[in-house]
Amino acid sequence: MDFTFTQDQTMMADVARDLLDAECPVSSLRALSAAGEARDAARWRKIVDLGLLGVLVPEAAGGLGLAEIDLVLIAEHCGYFGLPEPLVDTAGIALPLLAALPDVPRAAEALERTLAGESTVAIGHPGNPFVLDADAAGAILLPVDGALHLVDRADAKLTAQPSIDPFRKLFRVEAEPSAATLIADAEAAAPLLTQVFNRGALFAAAQLLGLARRSNDLAVAYAGERTQFGKPIGAYQAIKHHLATVQVKIEFARPVVYAAAAISPASGLHEEARISHAKLAAGEAADLSARTAVQVHGAMGYSWEVDVHYFLKRTLALSGAWGTPNDHRKRAAARVFGAPVGPEHTFTRGAAHG
Amino acid sequence: MDFTFTQDQTMMADVARDLLDAECPVSSLRALSAAGEARDAARWRKIVDLGLLGVLVPEAAGGLGLAEIDLVLIAEHCGYFGLPEPLVDTAGIALPLLAALPDVPRAAEALERTLAGESTVAIGHPGNPFVLDADAAGAILLPVDGALHLVDRADAKLTAQPSIDPFRKLFRVEAEPSAATLIADAEAAAPLLTQVFNRGALFAAAQLLGLARRSNDLAVAYAGERTQFGKPIGAYQAIKHHLATVQVKIEFARPVVYAAAAISPASGLHEEARISHAKLAAGEAADLSARTAVQVHGAMGYSWEVDVHYFLKRTLALSGAWGTPNDHRKRAAARVFGAPVGPEHTFTRGAAHG
Amino acid sequence: MNLDYTPEQQAFRADIRAWLEANVPAAPLPSFDASRAGFEAHRAWERTLNDGRWGMVTWPTNYGGRGLDLIEWLIFEEEYYRAGAPLRVNQNGIFLLGPTLMEYGTPEQRARFLPAMANGEEIWAQAWSEPQAGSDLAAIRSKAVREGDDYVLSGHKIWSSRAAFADWGFGLFRTDPASERHKGLSLILFPLDAPGVRRQPIPQINGEIGFAELFLDEVRVPAFNRLGEEGQGWAVCMATAGFERGLMLRSPARFQVAAHMLVELYKRHQHEVDGTVRAAVVQAWMDADAYALSIYATASRLRAGGHIGAEASVNKIFWSEMDIALQRTALAILGARAELLPVAPDAGDVDGWLDSYLFSLAGPIYAGTNEIQRNIIAERMLGLPRA
Amino acid sequence: MNLDYTPEQQAFRADIRAWLEANVPAAPLPSFDASRAGFEAHRAWERTLNDGRWGMVTWPTNYGGRGLDLIEWLIFEEEYYRAGAPLRVNQNGIFLLGPTLMEYGTPEQRARFLPAMANGEEIWAQAWSEPQAGSDLAAIRSKAVREGDDYVLSGHKIWSSRAAFADWGFGLFRTDPASERHKGLSLILFPLDAPGVRRQPIPQINGEIGFAELFLDEVRVPAFNRLGEEGQGWAVCMATAGFERGLMLRSPARFQVAAHMLVELYKRHQHEVDGTVRAAVVQAWMDADAYALSIYATASRLRAGGHIGAEASVNKIFWSEMDIALQRTALAILGARAELLPVAPDAGDVDGWLDSYLFSLAGPIYAGTNEIQRNIIAERMLGLPRA
């Protein structure tokens, strides 16, 4: 029992954070959205070169052979910096899925090309109505009737579904499944799709935790600068207490997200409830944090000019992606009412669904 | 359309308030509970002498022939002062029920004796698990299999059910119903019992509104006196905002309670939803107000020595009496999902249950 | 107390309902904050309203009104929102400046400004805030220097709603250069196309431009444009802000219609969401209902000679928090689709909920933040000591 | 990061579970705050615990402990609460003063006080607050005058928990009469049966007497009883308060057991309540779980050499608000029966929920109000400017 990150884990996360700090300032988001773009190819190249995409890929397949807990801090930083490029979905969801199909040549090839930064793979899942980044991907993972297909982007019909978040390019994807596109039949696909959903929810939670921290950092900074009635507004107790309340939410989402990562990958009743708890807690923290940041910024918070809205919108989008709060409350309830509860079960694993 | 009280209504309420102000200080509650008593006979006599019991009783039966709206402010004051004696239940529920049975001699007699202050009538209802004040009553209204009986206290077996509120004497009541005790058969009793419940909920709401105001008044007064870190705690923004938040709750419970009274007696979908809304809104205001008052009083708020706990306990008890929040949410939902909504329906009446 | 409408009130409701059914544009007008075309379409609608004498039914007949009372105003608003009629592009004029003109304006000022306001010829922007004077409105630095029969205005206004396209603005200016805080301010009206006025639109969170910055560089206006006495601008402005926070600007009907839409949205999706969402829908309806009842009570009291006090602050807090809760509930029902813009092909019934949610976040901020409102309630209503 | 228990930790859990199964009294002990008999029954239980070397497993073996780390402490607490073992009547001693003695006490002081604390011979009351010094603890007026080898204590302490029946008290006294605020205070231990000590019980909202006032009139104690340097009492006390707000006093297990009971209560009544109550039950479980995870993370960090900072304030806010929400949910399930005392013949399964609810209201107040905690978070953790 040791609920601390290893030195390796924090070092790798620090490297990622430093890269994002240097390469993903809000000015770059502002420039991208002004240009109507959603991706910065140069930044993506640097991320690829850092080798972060293969964290969850076995060493035999060219990755680092690590686990979710090794990626969770990096996903949190991606949320914090509002990274538009698909590092989290690629490293956290798509590649471990492809790596789980080593005997499927097309999957292995897509894995290799993605690891090399030559292409990306977009992920369709019944839990999400649309596919993110399908236009920029070389191939799209597409569940059809429970089976899993990998279709070339060129063979798919994409219908853009504009999101409030300028960096989330969503699409309805239609494609003709065939024996050629099949990479896992329904039986083989079922556990993989479960893992995809759990990883999606886990890493969305990690990003939401980062978003929560970012919005509060922005609000704290502004509250220290902005003066009204002769003193910084951060000296007023009302503002202090708003920000402290957000901080409490953050502090109690954090260990849940990390604990969920520490027990991944997994699919028991306990583990799924913890992942859902992480998504709920981080989502609530991020939501309250973003709204509080708007409020602390006053009218500025409602303007495009101030940075808050980028994180508010990402928060809104990720709150509904990979399971809504409603979906995740249901999974938490399934565990509470379907398995023993009590202090001796904090770290219990497994248990089939009731 | 005139959403103001008449001069007569406010004058009568002011008279009641002045009486309670003089006769029901917290010191009298403290003395009563120290003596293990729940009633002050002298105070009850003064209330009876003021003629308040007959507000809802027709003039022909010796009352004032008025309506719920004429009693609502008085009930609010009873809540404000934490009156232990059963003015609200007697004038607001028991007597109008008895008055609705003019052809039943035993009902008429009980009405007459109660109006004269010689006795009281306790009220059993399926919506409440126990009967309040059954020990002190001369007779008890008891629904059995849908029919309504009036049993002498001496013929009933009472089992005391101690409440956290020292002035709420609750009892399980068992009695042998007979033709002699019957005052309304099931068919005649059904609408009467509905009215009993609606009046019970309405006047509980009015008392909760008064309780909400009282707790906040106590907190505001203490916040102006108590000094910490060199200034009154009421000068700190955190305390100010707590108390302002309570005041907002109070201000938006108030018109709902009054509107519910203005359309009573009635039993349509709209009216019942409004009464339930009143009970919910006043209950939430009273609950937040009492808890905030404890918090503002600091450790003092947790002591028996300070007055807050009397109002906290009454709030707790009345929140569950005459329908729990759960029950009342259900009635509000029945109206929202069972009848047209929209701004033109604010004052719509009637509509049968769906 | 009598909560039934009179036959006259019912007849009035029938009249406005019939007129709206005949006149409300079938398709929604484009936003007045998004383009000049949308702005002008709304100006035309204001003219249509005025032609029917429905512009401001509470105004005296000589200014195009009907001289009706606040209860009829509420009925008008109920029908107006129920019919889905266009938002009022001139709300700064008709709801804020108009009543102030009637209270503080000279007969000449009323004659000059009210008719053109009523028929939409002149659309008004407000210009309260400055970069350093938001919640702390008394920190205003913009100045008005008297030169003969004119004032010369200079300064920098911000968060000026409608100023991107409007014709006129009104705001506070320091007429006494030696004054501080609330003293020495005057309320002055100025044309937005006057020489020396530069407008800089402020894109909002949702990409629209409901606000602009105004840079005033020696803008010359006649002293006639000062409303109220010189140096009394703060008192005049507070009266106006009272109206803004209070009765007129946030009609209960607006929230009741939103609650109605929420109920319909919920009914379509009730099997996709759990009991917490159902309870939130019912709560939204109850809150909108409570707000309506409260405003009817206030209107009745005002009609009987009462005044609006700190309850303007109470109302502000209630409706702004209710609005956010209501919009959030809608997003909870929409689930994963909540992030979609209405133009998305698969948007389904996302409608304008997302935009309304973002707009609702401005509620606790503008016209005095809710923090300021709570201070006001605590100090003026509850009598707690000032810090 | 590894969230599995080691075989040693699992064996430790099995040991304490077996011991508790064999030793926990079958019937609950009477409250230690309600009567001398209840108090003494709990004292006897402390002795039993100590006899089994289960009194404080983190204490060194020479004081009756097992020298185990904080993870084992958490496991101990989980099993302790799971078994429904008696509340710790000496918590002021073993959780607050004990660690402070180990940190600041001389070897002689530790030898004098720790064994008697461990075996329950001496039960401790805390005496922090004074009538004018609640949240503003530095406003303390009680004084300790040095006379030779003694201090002479005078003053008025309030909200002294356990003081109605306890043997010893500890509190801050002004040893430098010219000092102000945080300076010139010393932490002094004093017997509650010493001449000059008068105890006045304070009945609580629930009628029990967990607190007393202490009137000290020239109470003479040896200077030996001063813990830490003279005038350094504030620093010593802050270290103690850090522990109080932080890790020891509010075991996650306590809330997890409460959440477990809530789940069982809900299961019995789920058809009587709606989805909001169900969601609140699940939320209570999640919150208790999050609290446990957070404390495990802190314990892991402390074991690796970290220190507790402002997260003590974060914890305080979280558990106190969680506790109120949890208890309120239980009352919502009990419905109309919630007002009943457990002695009511028809109380059914109301159990101790009402009392727990009332007690939970003290959570945001004691050991520094949540308002103070939010100030601390804002200023020390977020770096916001002081007012």
A155 is a domain residue: yes
Quote the CA–CA distance of B122 and A304 in Å, as a whole number: 64
Range of the domain at A18: 7-184
Among the listed ranges A132-146, C201-215, C328-342, which one has the minimum average pLDDT value? C201-215
Chains that touch C (3 or more CB pairs under 8 A): A, B, D
| C2:B262 CB<8 A | yes
* Closest Cβ opposite residue C203 in set A236, A303, A321: A303
Q: Are residues A179 and A193 in the same domain?
A: no
Give the tens place of pLDDT for each residue, D182-221: 899 999 999 999 999 999 998 888 778 888 999 999 999 9
Distance in Å, alpha carbon of D275 to nearest chain C alpha carbon: 4
What is the average pLDDT value for chain A, to the nearest integer? 96
Give the tens place of pLDDT for each residue, D255-275: 999 999 999 999 999 999 999
pLDDT band at C138 (very low <50, low <70, confident <90, very high): confident
Among the listed ranges C288-297, C367-376, D240-249, which one has the minimum average pLDDT value? D240-249
Q: Are residues A165 and A237 in the same domain?
A: no
For residue B142, give the 3-state DSSP assignment: strand
DSSP annotation of D120 = T
Helix, strand, coil percentages (3-state) for chain A, rounded to 5, are 60, 10, 30
Q: Are residues B125 and B239 in the same domain?
A: no
| D344:B162 CB<8 A | yes
Sequence-distant (≥ 6) Cβ neighbours of residue C387 within 8 angstroms: B231, B235, B236, B237
pLDDT at A304: 80
Beta strand D197-202 with D211-222: parallel, antiparallel or unpaired? antiparallel
B327 is a domain residue: yes
Residue C298 tokens, joined: 């206030």
Residue C313: Cβ within 10 Å count: 27
C244 catalytic residue (yes or no)? yes
* Closest Cβ opposite residue C361 in set A302, A324, A330: A302
Q: Are residues A161 and A237 in the same domain?
A: no
Domain end call among B167, B184, B201: B184
Q: Is C193 exposed, middle or buried (0-12, 13-18, 19+ CB in 10 A)?
A: exposed
pLDDT < 50: residue spans in chain D: 244-245
- Burial per residue of A272-311, b for 16 or more beta-carbon CB atoms within 10 angstroms, e otherwise: bbbbbbbbbbbbbbbbbbbbbbbbbbbbbbbbbebbbbbb
Among the listed ranges B147-161, B275-289, D62-76, which one has the minimum average pLDDT value? D62-76
D135 touches chain C (CB under 8 A): no
For residue C308, give the 3-state DSSP assignment: coil
Is residue A352 predicted with pLDDT exceeding 80?
A: no
pLDDT at C312: 86
β-bridge partners, D172: D187
Q: Are residues A198 and A98 in the same domain?
A: no
Residue written as token pair 């800089």: C200
pLDDT at C242: 61
pLDDT at D245: 46
DSSP annotation of A161 = E
* Closest Cβ opposite residue B346 in set C81, C292, C371: C292
CA C328 to chain centre: 22
B1 is a domain residue: no
Q: Are residues A64 and A196 in the same domain?
A: no
Residue C238: Cβ within 10 Å count: 12
pLDDT at D249: 60
Residue of C270, C272, C276, C282 to mutate for D, most D C-beta atoms under 10 A? C276
Give the tens place of pLDDT for each residue, C179-225: 888 899 999 999 999 999 999 998 888 778 888 999 999 999 999 99
Q: For residue A273, give the CATH number of its domain.
A: 1.20.140.10
pLDDT band at C306 (very low <50, low <70, confident <90, very high): confident
Chains that touch D (3 or more CB pairs under 8 A): A, B, C
B2 is a domain residue: no
- Choosing from D78, D79, D244, D311, the catalytic residue is D244
Domain end call among A135, A156, A184: A184
Give the tens place of pLDDT for each residue, A44-67: 999 999 999 999 999 999 999 999
pLDDT at C310: 81
* Closest Cβ opposite residue B163 in set D129, D341, D369: D341
Say if CB D347 and CB D341 are below 8 A apart. Answer: yes
Distance in Å, alpha carbon of B107 to nearest chain A alpha carbon: 51
Is residue B42 predicted with pLDDT exceeding 50?
A: yes
B147 is a domain residue: yes
Residue A291 tokens, joined: 């709204």
- Residues B61-81, mean pLDDT to the nearest whole number: 97
| C136:A228 CB<8 A | yes
pLDDT at C12: 98
Q: Are residues A156 and A214 in the same domain?
A: no
Task: Find chain B residues with C-beta within 8 A of C384's C-beta.
Answer: 220, 223-224, 232, 234-235, 239-240, 243
Sorted by where each starts, the structural domains of chain C and their CATH numbers stand as 7-89 (no CATH), 124-231 (2.40.110.10), 250-381 (1.20.140.10)
Q: Are residues B39 and B117 in the same domain?
A: yes
A1 is a domain residue: no
pLDDT at D181: 85
Give the tens place of pLDDT for each residue, C101-122: 998 999 999 999 999 999 999 9
Number of CB pairs, chain A paired with chain B, less than 8 A apart: 9
Q: Are residues A174 and A311 in the same domain?
A: no
Distance in Å, alpha carbon of A104 to nearest chain C alpha carbon: 32
Sequence-distant (≥ 6) Cβ neighbours of residue A310 within 8 angstroms: A26, A29, A82
Domain end call among B164, B184, B204: B184
For residue D150, give the 3-state DSSP assignment: strand
Is residue B18 predicted with pLDDT exceeding 60?
A: yes
A123 is a domain residue: yes
| C371:A236 CB<8 A | yes
Is residue B353 predicted with pLDDT exceeding 80?
A: no
- Burial per residue of B50-59, b for 16 or more beta-carbon CB atoms within 10 angstroms, e otherwise: eebbbbbbee
- Residues A80-93, mean pLDDT to the nearest whole number: 98
Beta strand C150-161 with C143-147: parallel, antiparallel or unpaired? antiparallel
Q: Are residues B256 and B325 in the same domain?
A: yes
Could you report the predicted ipTM of this complex, rounded to two decimals?
Answer: 0.96
pLDDT at C245: 46
| D345:B172 CB<8 A | yes
Phi and psi of B105, rounded to 5°? -55, -40
Q: Are residues B302 and B238 in the same domain?
A: yes
Q: Are residues B104 and B193 in the same domain?
A: no
Percent of chain D predicted with pLDDT > 90:
80
Q: How many domains are there within chain B? A: 2
Residue C135 tokens, joined: 């919640």
Q: For residue A103, give the CATH number of its domain.
A: 1.10.540.10
DSSP annotation of D85 = P
Distance in Å, alpha carbon of D283 to nearest chain C alpha carbon: 12
Is residue A327 predicted with pLDDT exceeding 70?
A: yes
The H or E element containing residue B199 is helix B186-225
pLDDT at A301: 78
Dihedral sign for Cα atoms in the order B265, B267, B270, B275? positive
Say if CB A334 and CB D281 are below 8 A apart. Answer: no
pLDDT band at C238 (very low <50, low <70, confident <90, very high): confident
Sequence-distant (≥ 6) Cβ neighbours of residue B150 within 8 angstroms: B106, B107, B110, B121, B139, B140, B141, B142, B181, B183
pLDDT at C203: 86
A157 is a domain residue: yes
Q: Could you check whether the bond before residue A265 is cis, i.e. omega within 30 degrees of 0?
A: yes
